[in-house]
Amino acid sequence: MDLTAHPNRIALGLEGSANKLGIGVILHTGSSLDPSTSTVLSNIRHTFVSPPGTGFLPKDTAKHHRSFLVRIAKQALSAANVSISQIDCICYTKGPGMGAPLTSVAIGARTLSLLWNKPLVGVNHCVGHIEMGRAITGASHPVVLYVSGGNTQVIAYAEQRYRIFGEALDIAVGNCLDRFARTIEISNDPAPGYNIEQLAKQGGRVLLDLPYAVKGMDCSFSGILTRADELAAHMKKGGKAPDGEPITPADLCFSLQETVFSMLVEITERAMAHVGSNQVLIVGGVGCNERLQEMMGAMAADRGGSVYATDERFCIDNGIMIAHAGLLAYETGFQTPIEESTCTQRFRTDEVLVKWRK
């Protein structure tokens, strides 16, 4: 059966691989052979915010997702204003991510799939980000920088796979920023990275020396975090910057951002040079950062291209991207049988057969 023969296809997507629970409804119109149109019918999110100085633990995050799943699903359905009979499939995040939160959301997705008698589609979280980014920005063949709390990857499409050209060899960049936010005990609300960004805007007087660790198209952040933590301890003891002024949290946030973002822009540029592309798409939670977008934009412009980024509705984890990527796969005939609808903490971007692209 050619599903794209249906003029309208609708999917419900559920995401909960980290501390955001997101549920959204997407509509695809037109044949997928022609450029089909994607319309966001609803995109609802609820974030588990842990107290300053702490990270989100799997157990608490899973509990949050279970408590809010029905409420958020009801909101998503009512905002989308679609009836159950109009929905073609239920999409959920198969991985990668934290086990317990993923499983909680998967249980909800399976129950809906069984109750509504709709096929289930397991989606790779990273592919969700990439496809949503492409759909929103119209970037056709970009090098993708995927930066979040769990992932740092430079990706480009080739021969039915999103191939990983570069990645963090230890912790993800978002994890580095989040953990540093804990070190200096700044708020996790709305997100630690957001608060680092705001603080960094007050910095700029000095650039404190942090390790710069790029290896080919890969990079590493744990050494930088260690050094930044040391500098924070130095600051708490009244330490001074090279210019003789006391070190401030703003100096630290500024220096940390400037250093890690330079690394990200550099590995992205390397990938662009390597594959011969001048488009960059930034996805993932860290992709909201305006300084990162600005640096990336300047780099891309220098190469005669441009940067594509989405706002917080789409770059922060959400349900709509899962619905969208799931529906793309579903349109090619892909389904996940209930008995195989497990979750997996480790699920590499390049494991997915991207059948919907040429």
For the segment 151-170, give every residue that binds other proteins (CB under 8 A).
Answer: 151-153, 156-159, 161, 163-170
Q: How far is the CB of 228 from other proteins (least distance, A)?
A: 15
Stretch that binds other proteins, among 32-40, 129-137, 230-238, 340-348 (CB under 8 A): 340-348
Choose between 98 and 228: whose C-beta lies nearer to other proteins.
98
Report the SS3 class of residue 306.
strand
Choose between 97 and 326: whose C-beta lies nearer to other proteins.
97
Distance (Å, whole) CA 210 – CA 31: 51
**φ, ψ (nearest 5 deg) of residue 245:** -85, 155
Q: Specify whether the CB–CB gap between 4 and 331 falls below 8 A.
A: yes
Amino acid identity of residue 268, one-letter, is T
Q: Is 331 in the site for other proteins (CB under 8 A)?
A: no
Q: Is 284 in the site for other proteins (CB under 8 A)?
A: no
Q: Specify whether the CB–CB gap between 87 and 10 falls below 8 A.
A: yes
Of residues 18 through 57, those in contact with other proteins by CB under 8 A are: 18, 55
Size of the site for other proteins (CB under 8 A): 95
Strand pairing class (37-47; 20-29): antiparallel
Q: How far is the CB of 240 from other proteins (least distance, A)?
A: 17
Q: Specify whether the CB–CB gap between 110 and 339 falls below 8 A.
A: no
Q: How far is the CB of 17 from other proteins (least distance, A)?
A: 7
Q: Is 66 in the site for other proteins (CB under 8 A)?
A: yes
Of residues 301 through 320, those in contact with other proteins by CB under 8 A are: 302-305
Q: How far is the CB of 30 from other proteins (least distance, A)?
A: 26
Of residues 206 through 225, those in contact with other proteins by CB under 8 A are: 207, 212, 214-218
Site track 111-140 with other proteins (rule: CB under 8 A), x = hit: xx-xxx---------x--------------
Distance (Å, whole) CA 164 – CA 170: 15
| Of the residues 13, 97, 133, 192, which one makes contact with other proteins according to CB under 8 A | 97
**φ, ψ (nearest 5 deg) of residue 276:** 75, 40
Stretch that binds other proteins, among 34-42, 106-114, 244-252, 312-320 (CB under 8 A): 106-114
CB atoms inside a 10 Å sphere around CB 72: 22
Q: Is 69 in the site for other proteins (CB under 8 A)?
A: yes
Distance (Å, whole) CA 343 – CA 100: 9
Instruction: Check the annotation: does 197 bind a ligand.
Output: yes
Q: Specify whether the CB–CB gap between 43 and 318 falls below 8 A.
A: yes
| Of the residues 128, 149, 192, 285, which one makes contact with other proteins according to CB under 8 A | 149
Amino acid identity of residue 234, one-letter, is H
Of residues 224 through 283, those in contact with other proteins by CB under 8 A are: 258-259, 262, 265-266, 269-270, 272-278
Choose between 3 and 107: whose C-beta lies nearer to other proteins.
107
Q: For the chain, what's the residue count?
A: 358
Of 44, 126, 97, 89, nearest to 318 (Cα)?
44
Q: Is 94 in the site for other proteins (CB under 8 A)?
A: no
Choose between 2 and 212: whose C-beta lies nearer to other proteins.
212
Which letter does DSSP use for residue 84 in this model?
G
Of 262, 274, 248, 99, nearest to 184 (Cα)?
248
Instruction: Check the annotation: does 148 bind a ligand.
Output: yes
Distance (Å, whole) CA 264 – CA 147: 9
When computed from its CA atoms, the radius of gyration of the chain, rounded to whole angstroms, is 21
Report the SS3 class of residue 180.
helix
Q: How far is the CB of 212 from other proteins (least distance, A)?
A: 7
Q: Specify whether the CB–CB gap between 144 and 281 falls below 8 A.
A: yes
Q: Is 286 in the site for other proteins (CB under 8 A)?
A: no
Instruction: Check the annotation: does 149 bind a ligand.
Output: yes
Instruction: Check the annotation: does 146 bind a ligand.
Output: yes
CA atoms lying within 13 Å on the CB side of residue 245: 12
Binding residues for substrate, as ranges, are 146-150, 178, 193, 197, 289
Binding residues for a divalent metal cation, as ranges, are 125, 129, 146, 317
Binding residues, as ranges, are 125, 129, 146-150, 178, 193, 197, 289, 317
